[in-house]
Chains A and B, each alone.
Chain A
Amino acid sequence: MTRGIGRRAPLFTLYFSMFLSGAASAAPPSPAPTPTAPLPSATLTATVRSVDAQARTLQVVTGVGYALRVVKISWKEAPMVKAATAGGGMSQLKQGDLVRVEYAKAPEGNVVMSIELLPTPAPPSVR
């Protein structure tokens, strides 16, 4: 089946919630704010395909058998990358790195919550 069906749903939800929040500001103050439900999250161990610091986007490769898929994850405030040797910013990540990413499944897309650089065996050219 074709992909992309329902892609506008998150956008609609966002506009609708903005409309609702606008309506709420015009209404009399409510007694207590309703706590927002935490976003669902997921953890993924995968290989870095690309890091775009300007766009604040990380792409990782994962999959099942030969069916490979790219997962796009963005970040808002630059997360510290945990590593066995020394931590650092997202810019230290490069294609081929093995990472464990915990991310929130936000309406606007996946957002990094924490990221860890895992040790990888040497690439073939180093042999």
Chain B
Amino acid sequence: MNAAPSSTYFSAPPDWGWLIASYFFLGGLAGGCYFFAALIDLFGRPEDRPLAHLGYYIALPCLIVSGMLLTLDLGRPLRFWHMLIESNTYRPMLKPWSPMSAGSWALLSFGAFTFLAFLAALAEEDRLAWAPRVRPPGLVGVLIAVIGGMLGVYVAGYTGVLLAVTNRPIWSDTPLLGMLFVVSAASISAAAMILLSHPSRATMPGLAALHRIDSWAVALELLVLIAVVISLGPVMRAWLNAWGLVLFVGVVVLGMLIPLALYWRRESLGDRTPTAAAALVLVGGFILRVVIVFSAEGV
């Protein structure tokens, strides 16, 4: 304790464990998939619209499970609404400077957009007769895509900023975790959409775009992760243990370098190459969040 590399070493761990690490992963997926779906809706080709539907179909269940994980993690789950409403005055509770407070509102509003976009996607595929077809290029549809997409990125990234706005070692010793989570949300979301897209859509131009996007996002994520390690300075020592090894092998090698190589050499595993790469990116993205959550808990 006497030679602590940072004043953050005198704080106590909050015991955020598997539920929170899983939420960081699913929240990133929900936000990222919605974001890419909105981009396809707003800028993409008409023939790629089924891919946008897929993004909305992934986002809603991920977000619902996210909410359940967060509620379960509370010491008093039935008081989850205290995040939104002041329990003794019944007035709205919002502290914009507290990422958890602002994030609670973002989750709530993103939930509404995710639900609307989910219904509209079903309606456009004629699977749900009564649902409103509020899809772009209609004005309401465009608004749902634009605002929801921005909220999606917020939900994907605020968790990293939340970790930075503490006094825990690693988390608050770098300002880059939010950026890392945004970029990583993009890589895992593109990977999830590649994995879950129907085999009959293998020739869709949007899918090829997703392959390119995922390789770009993974490369960017690797650069941001390197920047995180550098910005930690002397606190980097906290990763000179088993967690550092897991980070290097599980995230850098398995989740970034091998997928990059696979995307680069598209033919190496035949037709399954992008599928394999995407699966590895998802695994790496999950391990990344596990390492970031647990390695600071132990210090």
Are both chains from one complex? no
Name B residues whose Cβ lies closer than 8 Å to a Cβ of A.
Answer: none
Name A residues whose Cβ lies closer than 8 Å to a Cβ of B.
Answer: none
